[in-house]
Amino acid sequence: MHEMAIAEGIVDVALDTLKANEGTIIHAIQVQIGALSGVEPEALYFCFDAVTRGTPAEGAILELETIPMKGRCLECHQTFSMEQYRHVCPHCESFAVEELQGRELRVASIDMD
């Protein structure tokens, strides 16, 4: 379950940020997750609760924002939403498609005191 390692990384970032800002408690962590990042949200919530026990982040809310997949055709230069693993331009049917978003995994913000 790679969600445990992801949860640990999220909490490490939050705790480092808390310390750097001389905070005492983390209330919420907002994380952006691309649709094709391979992260299972329910597993991440479970792991997050386990990883935060006994830390200043215990009881914090994990807020997940899903970033949809978008691509750009390298032939007709159109930008479009992509369906899962279908990397075909809906405008010209080219397979020369560049992924613009959808694989993100980043801490967007941290609410703390």
pLDDT 10s digits, 17-68: 999 999 999 999 999 999 988 899 999 999 999 999 999 999 999 999 999 9
How far apart CA 33 and CA 57 sit, in angstroms, is 20
Helix (H, G, I), strand (E, B) or coil at 60: coil
Residue 83's pLDDT is 76
Kindly report the pTM of this predicted structure.
0.83
- 36 with 102: CB under 8 angstroms? yes
Query: Tokens at residue 37, please?
Result: 């990042």
CA-CA distance, 68 to 70, in Å (whole number)? Answer: 6
DSSP state, 33?
E
